[in-house]
Amino acid sequence: MTAGHDHGRNRLPSRRTRRRLLSALAATSAWTTCLVGLAPTAHADDIRSQQWYLDAMQAEKMWKVSTGEGVKVAVIDSGVNASTDALRGRVLPGEDMTGAPGEATDDYLGHGTNMAELIAGSGVNGSVRGLAPGAEIVPYRIPLKGLDGKLDSDGYAKAIRAAADSDAKIISMSFGGPYYREDGEKAIEYALGKGKLLFASVGNDARKENKPRYPASYAGVVGVGATDQQGEVTGFSQHGMNVDLSAPGSEMPGWCDKSFQKYCVRDGGTSAATALASASAALIWAKNPEWTANQVLRVLVDTAGRKDDKKGASSVYVGYGAVRPRIHLLEGRGDPGDPGKNPIEATEPTPSAPASPSWGESDGKSRTNDAGGTDEGRKDRVENTAAESEDDGDLWIHLGAGAAAAIVVAGAFVLVRRTIRKT
């Protein structure tokens, strides 16, 4: 891995220096999930109607080509309940990293089970249907906020290494914390060396601190932001140097709590977006089992939704765009390219004065954005245009023009896009 490019006298501090400075500014060391609040309870027989993103992504059509069968996804989270209707028979043996009573299939929050269902749920008996219902889940339970006992951020690094040694192809991490850790970075490098494709949520604090989160900010991890039903970046989805792709993450169904008695419709979060991005990769990889992680990721990037259609350009708000696996599965588009080259290359936003997007709030109020201006009417927009015909159905969600070159200034630091190690 390399540091940022040299700009002479204005040379940016090294990645390690920036990490230490940003870590020093962090307010808390708790490793948290990236899911926000609950909405009213949804009856089981109505839960499919709440999965709006399946229709928007044309899941039924995609499933005729690929369901993700044969692809294993490691879910590093609070555990995965293997006995729910949606996951029965879909969860493989995993590993517990908490040291607390129970196993990897004892979910102490309900969060990990929700993520697993979004990825590979069967939909049986009115349960959640996953975007890749043919995939299988390998659970790794780590200590997150809410687990009785001490919070130990060592757990996720150990889990990443364990997942790297498994036959899971994809590692999904719907959690984050504010501190860089060398053991975390080394674990990521180890997993990349094993040919794994790693996704992590960028966080839900856009309205607050909006500081980089780990593991999403480690080089080689695909940081995932969230979009909503209106085709806009959600108000909570963090932005900056660690956003690579985006996926639906608003008004998502899931278990109301760890009792697993009923479903609720949640406000959503970048956690859910990460699960759906992971599931999208599973769909593509199942159709092309001979591909490497780099090739699967390149197709996701190449087919991502961008209204401005600036291929190769990255926005600090939605990265390269919103995942659209159907563009490859149904239309055969997307170039896998070099199997040994990571497609997410280092770029540095150029200082300029572009419009900044709004926070995607629905109350119509104007707010002050990070650049000091108001965000009214300026949004990273993604169109929710499920196909009306076979000719014009390739544009589910797109990024609005004007934000692709945006920069975010956090304190005294310019958030520079991460340098990604080639694997």
pLDDT for residue 309: 57
pLDDT for residue 155: 80
Residue 111 is a catalytic residue: yes
Q: Rounded distance, CA 399 to CA 162, Å?
A: 36
pLDDT for residue 241: 74
Residue 280 is a catalytic residue: no
List the chain pLDDT tens, one digit each, 423 residues.
333 333 332 333 333 333 333 333 333 334 556 655 544 454 445 788 899 999 999 999 999 999 999 999 999 999 999 999 999 999 999 999 998 899 999 999 999 999 999 999 999 999 999 999 999 999 999 998 755 544 455 689 999 999 999 999 999 999 998 889 999 999 999 999 999 999 999 999 888 888 899 999 999 999 999 999 877 889 999 988 789 999 999 999 999 988 999 999 877 899 999 999 999 999 999 999 999 999 999 999 999 996 665 666 778 888 999 999 999 999 999 999 999 999 986 443 322 222 222 222 222 222 222 222 222 222 343 333 222 222 222 223 322 222 222 323 232 222 333 433 333
Contact 63, 133 (CB under 8 A): yes
Options 127, 172, 201, 271, the catalytic residue: 271
pLDDT for residue 310: 60
Options 77, 106, 107, 375, the catalytic residue: 77
Options 66, 111, 302, 375, the catalytic residue: 111
CATH code for 30-329?
Answer: 3.40.50.200
pLDDT for residue 296: 98
pTM for the whole thing? 0.76
Q: Where are the domains of the chain?
A: 30-329
